[in-house]
Amino acid sequence: MNAIDEKHEVDKTAVIAIISDVLSRLESRPMTLQRYVLSDDKINDMQRRTLFAAVERALGRRLVGQDFVRRE
């Protein structure tokens, strides 16, 4: 199956079929079964930590060069 004809025009459906075939061969069932799946609590915890880290970085940039003294 050739994705390019004599006019060198790309047959998009053929290209998609080739890519789909290659990707399906790359998927390994044993590896899929070993894949770690995060729990909902872990996902929420990671999202919360990401948000807090972004806020801390933003506050740090915002307050650089000012006379602000952070009270903890």
**Within a 13 Å sphere around the CA of 16, how many CA atoms are in the beta-carbon half?**
3
Handedness of CA 51, 56, 62, 68 (dihedral sign): positive
**What CA–CA distance (Å, rounded) separates 63 from 15?**
52
Evaluate if residue 72 carries a pLDDT over 60: yes
Tell me the domain boundaries of the chain: 12-62
Q: List the beta bridge partners of residue 48.
A: none
Beta bridge partners of 10: 4
Q: What is the pLDDT of residues 14-71, one digit of tens each?
A: 899 999 998 888 887 787 788 888 999 999 999 999 999 999 988 888 766 677 677 8
